Structure 1
Amino acid sequence: MIKAVIFDMDGLLINSEPFWQESETKVFSSLGLDVNKKMFEQFMGKRIDEVVEIMYNTTPWNHCSKEKVADDIVDNVIQLVHEKGSCLDGVISSLEILKTASFKIGLASSSKMKIITAVLDKLQLHDYFEVIHSAEFEQYGKPHPQVFITAANLLGVPPAECLVFEDSLNGVISALAANMKCIAVPEKEASNLNKFVIANDVLDSLNDFKIDQLTNL
């Protein structure tokens, strides 16, 4: 029986995936690196330090630290969140449904805590979440399952009794590896949509979520 629901953030609660792509393109291009849509799909759900490490291992640079590159990307994303951030379809209604039904609600994101705070401030969603956790505090980010396992522990619910909402394939893999159920809400334009078949269910948007889906997982 599902007792807790854990939400991812980027691309699920907020329209921030374009912000990440814009920021990564801006910073990586300034270093002389090429980026493309296929790379962005592979990066979705990963921590920014891990993304920077992947790019550095592919094409090393020597005139800027990896930490500075990651910080520049994060700062640019936060600026875009403040300027353009908005709730994605069905976010508020889904949270209200789960809150009314007395489910424990958590958030587990690969983003740094300062981005999470900026997003929740912008969308005014703080009060919905009993637990807010960032993968920056874990040894490994998604697709490693630890960020979700820690969130479940903080909620006081066994992982097997948790459901995760995720928009990225890395996030779905992470949730399933944590022994949790997972409903995927992937980007419609993603080229890897067929891979989301591994999730327990797939929705076009959170607008399609119904509370009775939890009993059928």
Structure 2
Amino acid sequence: MDRSQFDAVIFDMDGVLIDSEPLWKIAMEEAFQSVGCNITRKDFQKTVGLRIDEVVRFWYKERGWEGLTPEQLEDVIMQKMVALIQANGEPLPGVLETIDYLRQNGFKIGLGTSSYRVLIDAVLETLQLTTSFDFTHSAEDEIMGKPHPAVYLTVAARLNVAPQKCLVIEDSFNGVVAGLAAQMKVVCIPEKTHHPDERLAIATKNYPNMLEFLKDFSS
């Protein structure tokens, strides 16, 4: 991949910086079970890449429950996720090396995620990356979450880089669609539970892991 065509690299967070998908599944299974709504890990594949409020609304419409409002259940999930991240969060292989390379070579670095700000802060603090990004942004602050391109377009604007000069690193279909819709090139490093997903072939390029991406990008 020709790195000279890019001025900025924008990372997704969940499944890209941190293997948070298993943590999400634990937090959501426990939260949904607490209101008598049994949702399997396979079920959660339907909502990967969406904001948590969209996930909760989706399942409230599909299954319904009593006891907690969707907003209250969101809060329960968030509290569980912060605790799980702080206890178990580790960077995925190649993440720290890739960010170091990008900083040393003058690329602007952004973060565009469906996760809420409280989770962004928890992840960056746990991974010791609080000063590594030029701008971080949550789709919580957008009217539309992924696959709408708004979150990535906002990051590009705040980095003062044209979308066409941005490279997005994603792991999910909704995220890939969002990056492409923003007129950006998109590298997909599929989170293992998304594999195989033939839809991910729409990405500009796919890699098995971040280290393989860095090897290609830096060569």
What range describes the TM-score normalised by the shorter chain of this pair? over 0.9
Could you tell me how far 1:131 is from its partner in structure 2?
A: 0.3
Unaligned regions of 5+ residues in structure 1, if any? none
Matched length:
215
Map of 2:90 onto structure 1:
86
- The 5 Å alignment of 1:1-217 reads 1-210=5-214, 213=217
Q: Among the aligned pairs, what percent are the same residue?
A: 41
Aligned-residue CA RMSD (Å): 1.5
TM-score, length of structure 1 as denominator length: 0.94
2:10 counterpart SS class: strand
Q: Which amino acid aligns with 1:140?
A: M
Deviation at 1:191, TM superposition (A): 4.4
2:83 partner letter: Q
Q: In 1, Cα distance between the equivalents of 2:65 and 2:12? A: 32
Q: CA deviation at 1:193?
A: 2.4
C-alpha displacement at 1:85, in angstroms?
A: 0.5
Q: What is the alpha-carbon distance in structure 1 between the residues aligned to residue 143 and residue 215 of structure 2?
A: 34
- Cα distance between partner residues in 1 of 2:22 and 2:116: 17
Give the Cα–Cα distance (whole angstroms) in 1 for the partners of residues 42 and 173 of structure 2. Answer: 13
Counterpart-to-counterpart distance in 2, 1:23 and 1:155: 33
Structure 2 stretches of 5 or more lacking a match? Answer: none
- Tell whether the 8 Å contact from 1:2 to 1:214 is kept in structure 2 after alignment: no
1:54-79, CA deviations, whole angstroms, 9 ceiling, x for partnerless residues? 00110122321111101100110100
